[in-house]
């Protein structure tokens, strides 16, 4: 059950990065860095709370899932932001 806290933190992180990027609350580079590293950390901690998981396996899960999903959310938010800015021209 305690591992689910990290999963919910990961979901909140993704939502926060998406909203912050769409509202232009910070630079894209800073939000991308926070999102990807935060995603890697939270998913690694989530994987570490599962039974019979070694650190290297948890780190790979964090990099692939956490970093990959965070990067995908950043790409989507950036795409929609650019489309919105082009529509207002």
pTM, rounded to two decimals? 0.91
Q: Alpha helices of the chain — where are they, by DSSP H?
A: 2-22, 28-48, 55-61, 68-87
What integer is the mean pLDDT of 9-30?
A: 95
What integer is the mean pLDDT of 28-56?
A: 95
Q: Which of 3, 75, 82, 5 shows the shortest CA–CA distance to 36? A: 75
């Amino acid at each position: 059950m305690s591992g689910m806290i990290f999963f919910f933190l990961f979901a909140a992180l993704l939502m926060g990065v998406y909203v912050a990027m769409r509202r232009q609350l910070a630079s894209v580079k800073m939000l991308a860095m926070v999102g990807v590293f935060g995603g890697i950390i939270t998913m690694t901690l989530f994987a570490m709370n599962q039974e019979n998981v070694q650190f290297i396996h948890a780190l790979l899960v964090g990099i692939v899932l956490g970093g990959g999903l965070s990067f995908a959310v950043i790409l989507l938010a950036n795409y929609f932001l650019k489309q919105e800015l082009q529509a207002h021209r």
